[in-house]
Structure 1
Amino acid sequence: MYQQLNCKVVRNIPDKKTTFLISALAIATFSTACTLAQPNTTPSPANSTNQTEEGQATITMAVIPWQVSAEQEKKLQPLADYLTKALKRRFEFKITKDYETAIDLLVKRKVDIAYLAPTSYIEAHRRDPKVEPLVAQINKETKRPWYTAVIIASKTSGIKTLKDLKGKRFAFVTKLSTSGYIVPTVHFQEIGINPERDFSSVIFAGSHDKAKEALVKGEVDAIADDRRSYTDQVNEEKINPKKYTIIWESSPLPSVPLVASSKVSVKLKDELKKALIDAPPGLVDPTGGIGVGYTLVQDGDYDIVREMQKRIANK
């Protein structure tokens, strides 16, 4: 069901109204970075027993399969080591086979926290309103807590604009992916493209890496992706940028959150927030990419994605 990483303890542009809301969200969210009150470490009598047991337990984090699992495991080790040391608790990652499994583990309280796409977080929160987003990554390129969706096409396909996608083979990531499905689908609606009708074939690859793999293998002509995920693979020389082109990029989207399950105490939530906001520069984030830090987030920051979901549901 999932692959496990153990750590030893060493201590399409939306409309104008939507664009305005995103800009306001990004500014408001970024303004909270690096401001975190010291956690209240004094448990109430009612919670003292639970918090004592919690203090001895392993912290588990479910991670959606952003990259090939073996590579993701290797890249996550420095983050695991840092959190183990900072929290003085054994820390364990569970890289899930798909987005659905990560949501299930979180909602069923089988993990403490999960690293989810914004859309996946919204689904988890719908199923359990007590799950809570804690922090989100700051984009390495923009130095802001947002990212963008892109559509990437093979240059040999003859695709130069979104209209050229008609009759072509296309790959989404999963319907629970914000950049890999929700955002590009909303934009397709806006410009009159129906993937089911207009594309010769549509697949759901399951992860961002698998979508890019399908593109490189020539199994599809174009894909929906996360801009940073694509850029990271170009920088790692896994993708030749001379063979592919970004034909569309979205407006900024609220960044990917780290989400706490309903079983996690306020004390542990505060400790996790502080540890991640205080994390050293260059620490790999759960996607496997080099991060530049984290900022605090809250449920309302993801309302813009909820609105996009409604537009798809009401089409």
Structure 2
Amino acid sequence: MKKAVIGFLVLALLLLTAACSSNGSGSGSSEKKTITVVWYPNESGADMKDARQALDKVIADATGKKVVDKLTTDYNIAIEAVASGNADIGFLAAQGYIEAHKKNSKVVPLVVNSGASGTLKDAVYYSWLAVNAKDADKYKNGSSYSLEGIKGKRMSFVSTSSTSGFVVPSSRIIANFKSDNLTQDDLQTGGKFFKQVLFGQSHQGSAVNLLSGKVDVAAFCDTELERYVDVASGEFDKEGTTYKVKSGAAEPFNNLTGKEFTVLSVTPVLNAPVVMNTETLSKADQKKILDTLTSDKVANDKGIFAPEGSKGMYAKTKDERFLKIEDSWFDEIRKLTE
């Protein structure tokens, strides 16, 4: 009799465990009432609040659940939040996703914003290496600009987890100075190649390091700077172009109006993915969010894909939209850190 009771209790426990694990088709919990979205420091500022809320609303409407933002001041905090399950969705860059996936294979890409063609063919943004405009002539080689003069200078990157703010520009520097036999580790601290190395912890922070005179050279990307600057001379996203901080620019550029920088190099980078933790997000919610984000309705949402002259998370120039993306798409970035 006692054995029968024990057997019954064990069976009941196993059935309960199986029921819990099958909730949400073996992934996440369909009973979860709140979805947490984590943002990099670049998108955590007050000037991006409306854009964050527009995306939060899309996710909330798709799932019927409350969406909570987790804002950060450090790339690693955002990466760890998704990897550990403290956030269900993350707006990360390629390198951040790669690091989160390495920590937890349940973290996978959800979508990425397309290029103007509406496809992955031109789904890129650009990494810049820049100097203060007043010093730009020191980096000229004939009529064009060169990276040769950056050796021995004070340098600012964004974060070692930043694709366009470290991985891509450091790879370009290594390729440019082959005879120095540099590694990415050599570029993270002063002494080997640079006199000093700082990390801005955001693209805005790296640009401020340059414009405030803390460094001579800085890496940051076009998409995070374009809302604060105007083209002073040249053409947007072209090497040799000079940009000026616009009047009325939001923090952290509010005290840098009129400051100018010149871009020495422009390098294409794979667009940044939206990622999800499939362990904490149910399969039902995953499908609802994916179907909604890739819909025409979201592609035409001006709060997310903003036409020229208005604010949004992404620029709408032609047919930009969200597209489903696979892990293998990021192998190109993986190769840069192997």
Q: Give the TM-score normalised by structure 1.
A: 0.75
Give distance in 1, aligned partners of 2:84 and 2:126. Answer: 30
User: What SS class does the counterpart of residue 253 from structure 1 fall into?
Assistant: strand
Which of 147, 152, 169 is equivalent to 2:125? 147
Of 284, 302, 314, which aligns to 1:290? 314
The alpha carbon displacement at 1:129 in A equals 1.2
Matched, 1:76 2:52: yes
- Equivalent residue runs for 1:13-162 within 5 Å: 46-47=22-23, 54-55=30-31, 57-67=33-43, 69-139=45-115, 144-157=122-135, 158-160=138-140, 161-162=146-147
Kept after mapping to 1: 8 A contact 2:204/2:220: no
How many angstroms apart in 1 are the aligned matches of 2:78 and 2:197? 24
Quick check: 1:229 aligned with 2:224? yes
Match of 1:189 among 157, 161, 174: 174
Aligned residue for 1:163? 148
8 Å CA contact 1:87, 1:275 repeated in 2: no
| Residue 308 (1) aligns with residue 336 (2) | yes
Structure 1 gaps of 5+ residues are 1-42, 311-315
Task: Return the alpha-carbon distance in structure 2 between the equivalents of residues 242 and 52 of structure 1.
Answer: 48
Aligned mates of 1:111, 1:90 — CA distance in 2 = 13
Corresponding position: 1:214 with 2:212: no
Q: SS of the counterpart of 1:91?
A: strand
Indicate how the Cα distance of structure 1 residues 249 and 57 shifts in structure 2: closer, same or farther if over 3 A, else same: same
CA distance in 2, matches of 1:275, 1:146: 22
SS across alignment from 2:198: strand
Larger strand share, 1 or 2 = 2
Relative to structure 1, the CA distance from residue 221 to residue 140 in structure 2 (aligned partners, 3 Å threshold; closer, same or farther) is: farther
SS of aligned partner of 1:120 = helix
CA distance in 1, matches of 2:86, 2:262: 41
Letter in 1 for 2:302: G
Bigger shift: 276-285 or 94-103?
Answer: 276-285
Which structure: larger Rg?
Answer: 2
> Greater shift after overlay, 89-98 or 168-177?
89-98
Q: Identity of aligned pairs, percent?
A: 25
**Any idea what SS the aligned residue of 1:66 has?**
helix
CA-atom RMSD, angstroms? 3.0
Q: 1:48 to 1:83 in 2, by over 3 A?
A: closer
* Partner in structure 2 of residue 11 of structure 1: none
Q: Distance in 1 between matches of 2:284 and 2:198?
A: 43
Q: Could you say which residue in structure 2 is the equivalent of 1:260?
A: 276
User: Does 2:193 correspond to 1:198?
Assistant: yes
- Cα deviation, residue 88, structure 1: 2.2
Q: What secondary structure is seen at the aligned counterpart in 1 of 2:228?
A: helix
- Which amino acid in structure 2 is aligned with residue 127 of structure 1? K
> Amino acid of the residue matched to residue 159 of structure 1?
Y
Q: Stretches of 4+ moved more than 4 A in 1? A: 48-53, 139-143, 239-242
The counterpart of 2:265, out of the listed 213, 231, 248, is 248
Q: Per-residue deviation at 1:51? A: 8.4
Give 1:178 shift. Answer: 0.6
Contact 1:140–1:291 (CA under 8 A) maintained in structure 2: no
Relative distance call for 1:49 and 1:123 in structure 2 (3 A) is closer
Per-residue CA distance 1:127-174 (angstroms, 9 max, x = gap): 111211010123469973222211121112233421111232210000
CA distance, structure 1, for counterparts of residue 90 and residue 21 of structure 2: 28
Code of the aligned partner of 1:155: A
Deviates more, 1:104-113 or 1:232-241: 232-241
Distance 1:52 1:189 in 2: 42
- Structure 2: distance between partners of 1:301 and 1:154: 35
Deviations 1:83-130 (A, max 9, x none): 323332211111122111112111111111111111111111111112
TM-score, normalised to structure 2, is 0.70
Range with bigger deviation, 62-71 or 201-210? 62-71
Q: Is the 8 A contact 2:211 2:259 kept in 1?
A: no
Change in Cα spacing, 1:49 to 1:275, as seen in structure 2 (3 Å) is closer
* Displacement of 1:74: 4.3
Determine the C-alpha separation between the residues in 1 that align with 2:67 and 2:285.
Answer: 13
Higher RCO (Cα < 8 Å, 6 or more apart): 1
**Contact conserved, 1:66 with 1:288, CA < 8 A, in 2?**
no
